[in-house]
Amino acid sequence: MSALPLRGTAAAQGVAPAQLLEVANVTMRFGGIVALDGVTFSVAAGRIAGLIGPNGAGKTTLFNCLSRLYRPAHGDIRLNGRSLNDCAPSDIARLGLGRTFQSPTLFDSLSVLDNVKIGGHARGRNGPLTDAFTLPGSRGEEHELERTARAMLAFVELEGAASRPAASLTFAQRKRVELARALATKPSLILLDEPAGGLNHDEVAALGTLIRSIRDQLAITVLLVEHHMGLVMSLSDQVVVLNFGRVIADGTPEAVRGVPAVTEAYLGTRH
């Protein structure tokens, strides 16, 4: 594919780093429309990867394939070497894949803290009987979960909002709570769908710092879909460019910037 010449620029030198996420030949159709057409790329552990492309390029479709909300017609997606093909959406969190949505989807009637606690569901073991009769171990798990949830709220600098109803938050706060909730799943890879969407200049700058510390301090690999070019280019170790469901470039931000197809497809849309 046209993406290949750009491979192996930065981190793939010397010993090839472990590929945390491998997307191989993924095709997704809706009726007669091909939303994803043989998409292939991989993301190494410990990276921030940006997924960009014009509107309708298939970015969110790809995210939905990764989190199994859609089932691709062809292709394979591997996380840590394990294929996700036979997984249900509810298996994904347990396998180490967390996500946020384009418009933040909180559990509005619950408190902020409970929202983040629900992020820990997949790692939890308490069942209905352990809960109903608070059998041995259930309290311990709850305390541990509360500790994690509060730590994640502190990480997104919203520890003071823990007992507020989620419905009472501002848009920017909702995005942060959703991020804390995804982090509480303790993922190895986190998918961020337009995290900067709807944020003002200062909030975007703070978001950049936050995403870097997700990688550097929590050691979580990040794959983000984003329209905010400045943010993607300054944050990403690797940029994958989609257009009409195909990967047209894949490499470092500098390398991708120089590809004519990208300029045409993506930047060329600006008059």
Question: Site residues (CB under 8 A) for another protein?
Answer: 67, 69, 88-94, 99, 101, 105-111, 113-114, 117-119, 121-122, 124, 126-128, 130-134, 138, 141-142, 145-147, 150-151, 153-155, 157, 159, 162-163, 165, 167, 181, 185, 209, 213, 217-218
Least Å distance, CB 217 to another protein, is 4
> What is the CB neighbour count within 10 angstroms for residue 174?
21
**Minimum distance, C-beta of residue 79 to another protein, in the bound complex (Å):** 14
Question: Alpha-carbon distance 165 to 193, whole Å?
Answer: 23
Spatial CB neighbours of 5, under 8 Å, sequence gap ≥ 6: none
CA distance 252 to 244: 21
What does the alpha-carbon distance between residue 24 and residue 261 come to, in Å, rounded to a whole number? 22
Nearer to another protein, 78 or 121 (CB): 121
Asked if 111 and 164 count as a contact pair (C-beta separation under 8 A), the reply is yes
Location of structure tokens 């045409």: 264
The CA distance from 252 to 233, in Å, is 9
Calpha distance 177→200 (Å, rounded): 17
CB of 93 to another protein, least distance (A): 3
Comparing CB distances to another protein, the nearer of 29 and 121 is 121
Q: How many CB atoms lie within 10 A of CB 27?
A: 16
Q: C-beta of 30: minimal distance to another protein in Å? A: 18
Query: What is the smallest separation between the CB atom of 258 and another protein, expressed in angstroms?
Result: 34
Q: Which is closer to another protein, CB of 1 or CB of 69?
A: 69
Name the minimum Å distance from CB 16 to another protein: 29
Between 181 and 246, CB nearer to another protein: 181
Q: Which is nearer to another protein, 122 or 241 (CB)?
A: 122
Name the burial class of residue 112, with classes exposed (0-12), middle (13-18) and buried (19+) by CB atoms within 10 angstroms of its CB: buried
Q: Which is nearer to another protein, 14 or 128 (CB)?
A: 128
